[in-house]
Amino acid sequence: MPATDIRPPNPYVRVRTTGSLSRRMIFIAAGWILLLLTGGGFALDRVLTAAVTRNFDDQLEYVLTALIVSSEIGPDGEVVFNREPADQRFLEPYSGLYWQVSGKGRDPFASRSLWDRRLAFVSNHNDLIVHAYDSVQFPDEKLRILERDVKLPGSPVRWRFQVAQSRDGLDAQISTLRRTLVRSFVLLAVGLIVMAGLQTFYGLWPLRRVREEIARMRAGKSRQVERAMPNEVAPLVEELNALIEHNEKQAEEARRHAGNLAHALKTPLTVIMNAATAQADDLGETVIREARTMRRQVDHHLARARAVGRRGSAHSRADVWPSLESVERAVGRLYRHVRIDIAGPKTLQVHVERQDLDEMLGNLIENAAKYGGGSVFVTVSAQAGFVEFLIEDDGVGIPEEERQRIFDRGARLDTGKPGTGLGLAIVRDVAEIYEGTVSLEESEDLGGLLVRLRLPAAN
Cβ neighbours of 347 (radius 10 Å): 10
For residue 379, give every residue at least 6 positions away whose Cβ sits within 8 Å of its Cβ, in sequence order, or none.
Answer: 342, 343, 344, 389, 390, 392
pLDDT at 304: 62
Alpha helices, DSSP H only, in 125-233?
168-203, 205-218
59 plus 149 within the same structural domain = yes
Q: Is position 437 within any domain?
A: yes
pLDDT at 301: 66
User: Does 12 score more than 60 pLDDT?
Assistant: no
φ, ψ at 389 (rounded to 5°): -110, 130
49 plus 190 within the same structural domain = yes
Q: How confident is the model at residue 300 (pLDDT cuts 50, 70, 90)?
A: low
Q: Write down the mean pLDDT value for the chain.
A: 83
Rounded CA separation 101/107 (Å): 9
Q: How confident is the model at residue 13 (pLDDT cuts 50, 70, 90)?
A: low
Rounded CA separation 2/450 (Å): 78
Q: Is position 222 within any domain?
A: no
pTM over 0.75: no
Which residue, 33, 15, 19, 17, is CA-closest to 199? 33
Q: Is position 247 within any domain?
A: yes
CB 459 within 8 A of CB 347: yes
What percent of the chain has pLDDT above 70? 87
For residue 230, give every residue at least 6 positions away whose Cβ sits within 8 Å of its Cβ, in sequence order, or none.
Answer: 206
Q: What is the pLDDT of residues 89-123, one digit of tens each?
A: 999 999 999 999 998 888 899 999 999 999 998 87
Cβ neighbours of 67 (radius 10 Å): 22
323 plus 281 within the same structural domain = no
Burial class (CB in 10 A: 0-12, 13-18, 19+), 135: middle
CB 114 within 8 A of CB 84: no
Q: Is position 276 within any domain?
A: yes
φ, ψ at 23 (rounded to 5°): -65, -40
Q: What is the pLDDT of residues 159-210, one digit of tens each?
A: 999 999 999 999 999 999 999 999 999 999 999 999 998 888 888 888 888 8
Of the three residues 188, 203, 218, the one that is the final residue of a domain is: 203
156 plus 198 within the same structural domain = yes
Name beta bridge partners: 454.
Answer: 388, 437
320 plus 302 within the same structural domain = no
Q: What is the pLDDT of residues 272-294, one digit of tens each?
A: 887 788 777 777 887 887 787 77
Q: Which structural domain, as residue segments, surrounds residue 258?
A: 234-309
290 plus 321 within the same structural domain = no
Q: Is position 245 within any domain?
A: yes
CB 200 within 8 A of CB 28: no
46 plus 147 within the same structural domain = yes
Of the three residues 280, 309, 338, the one that is the final residue of a domain is: 309
55 plus 159 within the same structural domain = yes
Q: Is position 6 within any domain?
A: no
For residue 337, give every residue at least 6 positions away whose Cβ sits within 8 Å of its Cβ, in sequence order, or none.
Answer: 374
Q: Is position 13 within any domain?
A: no
74 plus 123 within the same structural domain = yes
294 plus 323 within the same structural domain = no
Of the three residues 260, 283, 309, the one that is the final residue of a domain is: 309
137 plus 277 within the same structural domain = no
Rounded CA separation 276/412 (Å): 29
Q: Is position 346 within any domain?
A: yes
60 plus 185 within the same structural domain = yes
Q: How many domains does the chain have?
A: 3
* Strand pairing class (141-150; 131-138): antiparallel
H-run or E-run covering 52: helix 21-70
Q: Per-residue pLDDT averaged across 19-26, rounded?
A: 84
Q: What is the CATH number of the domain that holds 362?
A: 3.30.565.10
Q: What is the pLDDT of residues 311-331, one digit of tens each?
A: 544 457 899 999 999 999 999
